[in-house]
Structure 1
Amino acid sequence: MIRNISISAFINIIFSLAFIAILITFSFFISFDKQKHEITQQNRYELIAENFLSTFQNLPDAQSLFKLFKKFQVKPLEDRDEKLEIIKNAQELTITQNYLGTYRVYKYDNTYYIYVQQYGYNLMLKDIRNHNYSMAIIVGAFILSIVTILFLYAILKRKLKPLKLLNKQIIEFSNGNKDVKIKSVSNDEIGTIAKSFNEAITLINNQTKSKDLFMRNMMHELKTPITKAMFIAETLDNEQTRDNLQRAFKRMDDIIKELATVEKLTSANSMMYKEPTSFFNIYNKTLEIMMVNPENIASKIKSFNFSVDISMFSIALKNLIDNAIKFSPNNKAIINASKDEIQVISLGEPLQYDLSYYTEAFSQEEKRSDGFGLGLYIVKTIACLHGYTLEYKYENGKNYFMIKM
């Protein structure tokens, strides 16, 4: 599951967990610190009470008591009614009795009082020191921790921002945009990847341009001499020699035509010209460029209209029909067509490999004198350009090649 999470999402999860961990940690710390504060307060009141009880045994004078008041920051209450009100209404926190005497700790109106009793002494002491629990330091530490986490998060996200841009432009490149350029803004690993990616794009573009230039020059240079040779072969008197030469030149001409089709489909400048048409129009156009005997094709076509590049789609259908006739034992093909899919069916043995093997350029099961391994590659490429898919199945001794629309 973790493998399927993006780096950005993983970082968000990590920092969210860190934020939650800080909240929980400070919550527990505050709880424990409050308990510690209360224990410290309790110990202080015990110390004050025991000091006063010990002093009472020596019958202290006013000056001795005043020193104790100042030392422990307490103030004696003289008003009897005020004492009774505190005893009656205050919250009694603790009561302790020992050999020295008895003392109680009260809390009233958020103020603490210590009531000390021994041998006629009844002294009510008010704690005048600030005893409120302060969270200023804890809140400051919490804010500092959160700010630090957010600062690190912002730095990390900013550091990974070029990686998002790199991923976006790699996707653009894979979708056919060969002019993608990435500006490297750092010298770290991401910057190195960006530089390597730019170098790879430049190399691929140079190789593509060289290939296109080679293909065009080669086809141009070969087309003229082949045409002349075919005319010369027509003048030969020996019929067998003439037929052999014409077949050889016809094969070379077919190779050039298929290479020209491949070059057009793979060229960065190739354009599709979709226009509304009927499948009957495509079918008739296909029969024209095939120059095949109609008796070799059985068709079951439901009339429908669609928008395609007529020239390209006719070539794709021509290749499927040509393969069906060429490689079936009875040299016949069946065409079923509807608005959902176009089927080209023929008798024969099933394909030895997956369809993906045959849709690669120059793929053949074995070397043949009547094929170049480009037919299905061209069909798949044209189908994909139109947003369709090429599929294959084998049923009841028949091969089914289907263009799903």
Structure 2
Amino acid sequence: MIRNISISAFINTIFILALIAISLTFAIFIKLDKQRFNISMQKKYELVAENLLKTLDTTPSKSGIKLILDQFRMSRIDDDVFILQILNEANPVLMRQSSHGMYRIFSFEDNLYTYVQRDGYNLMIQDSQNYSYNLLIISLAIALSLGTIFSLYYILKRKLKPLRDLNNEIKKFSEGNLNVKIKSCSSDEIGTIAKTFDEALTHINNQTKSKELFMRNMMHELKTPITKAMFIAETLDDEKKRETLQRAFKRMDDIIKELAMVEKLTSNNTLVYKELTSFFKIYKRTVEIALLSPDKISAKINDFKLNADTAMFSVALKNLIDNAIKFSPNKHALIKANKHRVDIISEGEKLKHDLEYYTEPFSQEEKRSDGFGLGLYIVKTIANLHGYKLIYTHNEDKNIFSILID
């Protein structure tokens, strides 16, 4: 589970757990510290009350009582209404009776009060200090801890920002955008990776442009002499030589067309011009470009509408039909089509390898001299561009290549 979590999510989780741990720690500390403070205050109040009871035995003056209270940092409460409220509403914490008198300790609104009584004389006192001083110190400690945590979090997230940017650019590159640029001003490991990847992108772009330029120039230069050669071959009187040359030049022309299609499909500028059309229209276009005679193909088509690039999809069907006819013993193919799938069926032995082997460029059976190994690669690429899927099955001595539409 941890292996599948992203670095950003992992860091967020760690810091959230750290914040929870710090919050719980300080909450427990505040609770325990307040209990400790109350216990220490209670002992102090007991000590003050005992001393006051002994002192009251000598009936000291108000200044004498004040002197004792100042010594213990206590203050006297003279508000009779507030004293009565404490006696009626406060929670009693402790009550002690001694030979000198009685004193009680009350807890009221998070403060402790001591009520001293002796021979009709009573005195309500409280500590001049309170727990807010401790809370202020603890609050500063909490703020300092949280500030440190958030500062570390901010610094770490900023440190990882180039990695996120690099990941986004790599995603764009994987989607076919070769014009991405990765800039990094840091000299750490992430900066080094970004710089290396940018250099690799530049190298790949240069190679791609060189390949595209070579392919286009090569196809252009070959197309003209092949056309001239085919025209010259037509003038030969020897029928056998004429047919042999025409087949050879036709094969070369087909290879150039296949290479042109591959170059188009793998180009960054490939656009699929989808339109709502009928499958029968695509099939009719396929028959036209394949120059098929009626005895070579049978069709069982339930016509339907689909969003497709008519020109591209026709090329895909043509390649499947060409392969079916070329490599079947009876040189015949059957096409079945409905709104869910298109099947190209022909007699023949099962393929020796999985479909993935034949959909790689320049892949073909070892003993086959015909074909350039690009047909199924083109079919799969066109299917993928449309969001369709190419599959292969073999049933009852028949090879079935299917394009799944939905």
Measure the CA separation in 2 of the matches of 1:237 and 1:51: 140
Aligned pairs for 1:3-402 within 5 A: 3-51=3-51, 68-74=68-74, 91-96=91-96, 104-107=103-106, 110=111, 112-113=113-114, 115=116, 124-134=122-132, 135-236=135-236, 239-402=239-402
Q: Is the 8 A contact 1:286 1:314 kept in 2?
A: yes
| Unaligned stretches of 5+ residues in structure 1 | none
The alpha-carbon deviation at position 397 of structure 1 amounts to 2.9
The alpha-carbon deviation at position 231 of structure 1 amounts to 4.1
Measure the CA separation in 2 of the matches of 1:75 and 1:277: 96
Instruction: Say if 1:171 and 1:323 are closer, same or farther in 2 by CA, change over 3 A.
Output: same
Q: Is the 8 A contact 2:95 2:105 kept in 1?
A: no
Q: Is the 8 A contact 1:95 1:102 kept in 2?
A: no
Instruction: Say if 1:108 and 1:281 are closer, same or farther in 2 by CA, change over 3 A.
Output: closer
The alpha-carbon deviation at position 213 of structure 1 amounts to 1.3
| Unaligned stretches of 5+ residues in structure 2 | none
SS of match in other structure, 2:127: coil
**TM-score normalised by L of structure 2:** 0.84
Instruction: Say if 1:83 and 1:72 are closer, same or farther in 2 by CA, change over 3 A.
Output: same
Measure the CA separation in 2 of the matches of 1:266 and 1:53: 101
Measure the CA separation in 2 of the matches of 1:319 and 1:83: 102
**TM-score normalised by L of structure 1:** 0.85
| Percentage of matched positions with identical amino acids | 58
SS of match in other structure, 2:402: strand
SS of match in other structure, 1:165: helix
* CA-based RMSD: 3.4
The alpha-carbon deviation at position 264 of structure 1 amounts to 1.9
Number of equivalences: 400
The alpha-carbon deviation at position 125 of structure 1 amounts to 4.9
The alpha-carbon deviation at position 122 of structure 1 amounts to 7.8
Instruction: Say if 1:67 and 1:310 are closer, same or farther in 2 by CA, change over 3 A.
Output: closer
Q: Is the 8 A contact 2:103 2:116 kept in 1?
A: yes
SS of match in other structure, 2:344: strand
Instruction: Say if 1:382 and 1:47 are closer, same or farther in 2 by CA, change over 3 A.
Output: same
Q: What amino acid does structure 2 have at the position aligned with 1:107?
A: F
SS of match in other structure, 2:12: helix
The alpha-carbon deviation at position 302 of structure 1 amounts to 1.4
Q: What amino acid does structure 2 have at the position aligned with 1:257?
A: K
Q: What amino acid does structure 1 have at the position aligned with 2:125?
A: D
Q: Please give the per-residue CA displacement for 1:46-65, whole angstroms capped at 9, x wherever unaligned.
A: 333455677799x7977987
Q: Is the 8 A contact 2:75 2:127 kept in 1?
A: no
Measure the CA separation in 2 of the matches of 1:294 and 1:251: 22
Instruction: Say if 1:177 and 1:124 are closer, same or farther in 2 by CA, change over 3 A.
Output: same
SS of match in other structure, 2:176: coil
Q: Is the 8 A contact 1:89 1:108 kept in 2?
A: no
Measure the CA separation in 2 of the matches of 1:8 and 1:401: 44
